[in-house]
Structure 1
């Protein structure tokens, strides 16, 4: 059990990492080391900032790991544009697998007690007909998820060899202020008042607000039952794409212009345009069962989806 101590956050200038650093700084039991590629933004007073360059197999983490009790590894690369699928996976492995395992081995050698790894629900798969659980067999369908799964397997090997505690968190799509990726695109579309043909989508998807994810990560840093466990993350309530867009519009204080078009028509059009992956994210279902997470850690998502979206747009201004 880690009741207090120093936490190294990798990817500390990123979407998740920066929010996690701010939360840890606000709690007096934690000292924070922020790992970044380059020193380009200020952090709160008291944060020790270390520039490590690229996260690779030969990265030297010795300076960042000095006096550290726990590591939260949030640094990762989600995709490499303009390369073949095979080349993309190879490059993702360099950072998401080799880089993570190098850090883990050096952390264990430095006496770090716990290593919290931010993985992806994509390790379970990218669609389902029943909610994923932590006990399901992994079925990564995309290069990013494959690299995360390989990193997870390597971390368990490090755990067996060294005894360092490992915690895996697999979040679904994360929304929050200045969110990248798909959610950021949805915000821009709704904000511009662009009519969207998504007014009749009856899928079910689990998401997690940034504040809820950060709260879960902090719980995993210190809770004794988190050691050597896999936790799926979520807000505890699933939405259709149509419901999500309506809530986004309400949080922004403007109408979401949704045109009811049958999902089958959209899927057919997406196939013709070579956008099957995007269609799957918007039209398909991906549900996550977080009961194991809640029961094991005595945890509940502290923010509702409505509150999370409201905070998202308030903090984006």
Structure 2
């Protein structure tokens, strides 16, 4: 399919993953249109979008239909994600109810393949590790619930429309430009990072450069059609190991404060309530506590097999590459 692809639409192209993906595809010679409500005014490396930008909510259907004209491939990254203050109904509208209309518009425009970006957040707290695509999901949050329901809308609607599709569930992606990576780096550097609990819960990291290659392969792999796949690195590590690796590779101190988990829950509840009254996003919330209590570890053999994909970076190598890129800023 690569030789046949002329134009690609990337929704959510103002976010970390979508922005990187749109630039990555553009660099490979594709005509790329990126759509989002906001695009970053500045990026860590000072780069500008190397693709055509459309400033719009994808639910403004007349704008979206125009952006879809001639698109052979759609990468759908746009979603309600970490906005604590966002109304629950908006999560359902963005992540679920909008899907049939978007898919019908893509089909009408002649789209050859729809690549839907979901999340391992759909699983919730795992009771067995590693989990795989057959593991039953028990979402812990509105975000997880709506990402899972969004997948189901994609499957049913695409089958109804006879629209080829692939569903990707990325694990914990990190790299330059990632808000979570930047926050972890900043808090460690300022000696403000607080470890909540013992940090023994499992994390499944994947470096952004590996993710881009895996997502690119989803565009032309026929065995991947109609499949849901977890995209992750080769290593499952603990949160403690994750934080220590960032500290070591960035040559900054590790956490100076550790709080018992229950104390962290109380603190997060208080902070979330106070910032909610002020109408601001809280620096700590019950949602962000998932970093310290949710186990994420997955069997990624399906995506390796169907996409013919092998991660190039170990976790330490990925953090080293990130540290090197950061040092050049």
> What does residue 209 of structure 2 align with?
211
1:300 aligns with 2:301: no
Deviation at 1:77, TM superposition (A): 1.6
SS class of match (1:62): helix
Structure 1: stretches of 5+ with no match in the other structure: none
- CA deviation string 1:54-91 (max 9, x = no partner): 232745422211211110011112144346xxxx3211
Question: Counterpart of 2:262?
Answer: 268
Structure 2 residue aligned with 1:48, among 35, 39, 52? 52
Please give the alpha-carbon distance, in whole angstroms, between the structure 2 residues aligned to 1:221 and 1:209: 19
Aligned-pair distance for 1:112?
0.4
| 1:147 paired residue number | 146
Q: Are the counterparts in 2 of residues 208 and 235 from structure 1 also a CA contact under 8 Å?
A: yes
Kept after mapping to 2: 8 A contact 1:119/1:168: yes
For 2:216, what is the secondary structure of its paired residue?
A: helix
Whole-Å Cα distance in 1 between the matches of residues 293 and 141 of structure 2? Answer: 17
Moved more, 144-153 or 277-286: 277-286
- Counterpart of 1:114 in structure 2 is 113
- The CA deviation at 1:18 is 1.2
Change (3 A) 1:18 1:197: closer
CA contact (8 A) 1:252 1:313 kept: yes
Cα distance in 2 for partners of 1:58, 1:22 equals: 24
Cα contact 1:114–1:165 (8 A) shared by 2: yes
| Deviation for aligned residue 1:174 | 1.8
Cα gap change, 1:166 to 1:196, in 2 (>3 Å): same
Contact kept? 2:172, 2:203, Cα under 8 Å: no
TM superposition score normalised by structure 1: 0.86
Q: For each residue in 1:153-183, what CA deviation from the matched residue of structure 2 results, as whole angstroms up to 9, or x when unmatched? A: 11112211111111111112221113224x4
1:166-208 CA-partner distances (Å, limit 9, x unpaired): 1111112221113224x43322121223464469533321122
Aligned to 1:235, what secondary structure does the other structure show? coil
Task: Report the Cα distance in structure 1 between the residues aligned to 2:223 and 2:8, rounded to whole angstroms.
Answer: 18
Work out the CA distance in 2 between the residues paired with 1:127 and 1:136: 9
Counterpart Cα distance in 2 of 1:57 and 1:99 = 10
Question: Superposed, which structure 2 residues align to 1:159-308 within 5 Å?
Answer: 159-181=158-180, 183-194=181-192, 196-197=194-195, 200-257=198-255, 266-273=260-267, 274=269, 277-308=287-318
1:253-274 Cα offsets, whole Å, 9 max, x none, are 2232456x5xxx6222123333
Paired residues in the alignment total 304
List gaps (5 residues or longer) in structure 2. Answer: 42-47, 270-284
CA distance in 2, matches of 1:39, 1:294: 32
**In structure 2, how many angstroms separate the alpha carbons of the residues matched to 1:231 and 1:178?**
25
Backbone CA RMSD of aligned residues: 2.4
